[in-house]
Amino acid sequence: MPQLDEQKIVPVTNDRYRQHFHIMTNGGWLNDPNGLCFYKGYYHVFYQYHPYSTEWGPMHWGHVRSKDLLHWEYLPVALIPGDPEDDGGCFSGSAIVKDGRLYLIYTGQHYYDDGDQDHFWENQNVAFSDDGIHFQKYSGNPVIEAPKDNTQHFRDPKVWQHGDHYYLVLGSQNTAGFGRLLLYQSTDLLHWQEAGIIDQAHDLATEGFMWECPDLFSLGEQDVMVTSPMGIKATSHENLNSSQVDYSIGHLDYGTPHFSGTKLTELDHGHNFYATQTMLTPDQRRIQIGWMSPFEEQLQEHTDGWAGCLTFPRELTIQNNRLIQQPIWELVNLRQSQDVNETTLVNAETPLTLSDPQHCEIDLHWPKELLEEFSWQLNDQLGKLLALTYADGQLTLYRRGADAYRYASAAQLRSLQILVDTSSVEVFVNDGESTFTERYYATGPVAHFLNGTGCTTEVVAYRLA
């Protein structure tokens, strides 16, 4: 069985960008969240992890747990690659509890012996634990192998129970080069049968060549399909990242099988949002966490011994056939002090006086008037670092050094909730109708400013820790 080489683990050497209330590694690289679940009194989050470098490498499963979704305890690495079923890496997957045992279902990565990292094949495997800390890989791995009409792209199983059966959905690409999602069925989590294709791309430009990191869950009477499609062409205002997360609301027919729903819709409008996964809490909330650092960007913290972090947990609901994201209610327990609570007339540049401007929550409301123009801005010693501007029914996000602006429509701006951590900002528009997720790297101290055209603004701000 492969073992972790403790002598090679990368240590954190500088805390300058370390987050206060987001999941990150205690040294090494992080990407996709995996295996979100509640087991034996703890919320568990796993993540793609390379302990020996601050660059992407052979994937392990890092592991943290929490009693409150706010404060996370580092646990031993759950999965280490190197067995025949995962000799190239333990790629993304999910978790489920059955008969008191915690099961992980994950992708095994394999490379051909030609030195080409783009020449690989993938299969699906199982590991399990009775204490939620130490995991054993199933002796019958792999449990699923790619069908004949599939390319090498075949990964990221998301598992759930429906009735008397277990199901999982897999990200896939058919031999014609179009992204799709495959459904599998089991009675014991160990023996799986292919049920069929539940949905697939029909146009590469608008739907993508590979659908990875899928999720499928129910909210009330509706089903939600989420995926991270690769290769969608950007338009002037949409899909401006090289990769993004899209969702569709509709219905999964298990018998056909087929998912029928709304057109794929971008879930977040920021630069740094990818590979989301959800879980159901004991009180039946659907909670989502995503990766906050896509591959196309240079992560400045990599020189400090770590790289990447996850989003703050968000509760998902549906309103008006739209997926709504809001910070979990537990956020109130991070509020250490209230810095601002006032109604103010915002005309020109108005500074916000905050006790800790890099660790705060800012809530802005306009309950009685229609806004013409408004902006929130974050400055450092070099000037404007981030800005979110509302004008002509559009929200525009600017980040210094980024390739493009980001946009979201908002016919009427009613509220903004802004969470700021050491090196990230998450903005929730109109109680979660739209979101912007960003990493940032400040030079020196930061300050917040509001700008408007004579608008009466309710402002509440808290220090978070």
Residues catalogued as catalytic: 32
Computed on alpha carbons and rounded to an integer, the radius of gyration of the chain in Å comes to: 22
Do residues 79 and 103 make contact, with C-beta atoms less than 8 angstroms apart? no
Cα–Cα distance for residue pair 292/331, rounded to 1 Å = 18
Element (H, E) at 326: strand 322-327
Per-residue CA distances from 188 to 98, 157, 160 (Å): 9, 16, 12
Q: Of 152, 212, 215, 157, which Cα lies nearest the Cα of 189?
A: 157
Q: Which two tokens stand for residue 361?
A: 């929550």
Cα–Cα distance for residue pair 102/18, rounded to 1 Å = 31
Count Cβ atoms below 10 Å from residue 115 Cβ, excluding itself: 7
Question: In a 3-state reduction of DSSP, which class is residue 302?
Answer: helix
Per-residue CA distances from 448 to 310, 354, 388, 408, 418 (Å): 24, 8, 12, 22, 11
Q: Of 441, 419, 289, which Cα lies nearest the Cα of 363?
A: 419
Instruction: Give every CB contact of residue 265 below 8 A, 6+ residues apart in sequence.
Output: 246, 247, 248, 322, 323
The amino acid occupying position 374 is F
Instruction: Give every CB contact of residue 449 below 8 A, 6+ residues apart in sequence.
Output: 349, 350, 351, 352, 376, 377, 378, 379
Cα–Cα distance for residue pair 171/179, rounded to 1 Å = 8
Cα–Cα distance for residue pair 271/210, rounded to 1 Å = 20
Q: Of 379, 382, 376, 367, which Cα lies nearest the Cα of 395?
A: 376
**Position of tokens 């690409």?**
173
Do residues 197 and 190 make contact, with C-beta atoms less than 8 angstroms apart? no
Cα–Cα distance for residue pair 424/335, rounded to 1 Å = 17
Q: Which two tokens stand for residue 74?
A: 């580092």
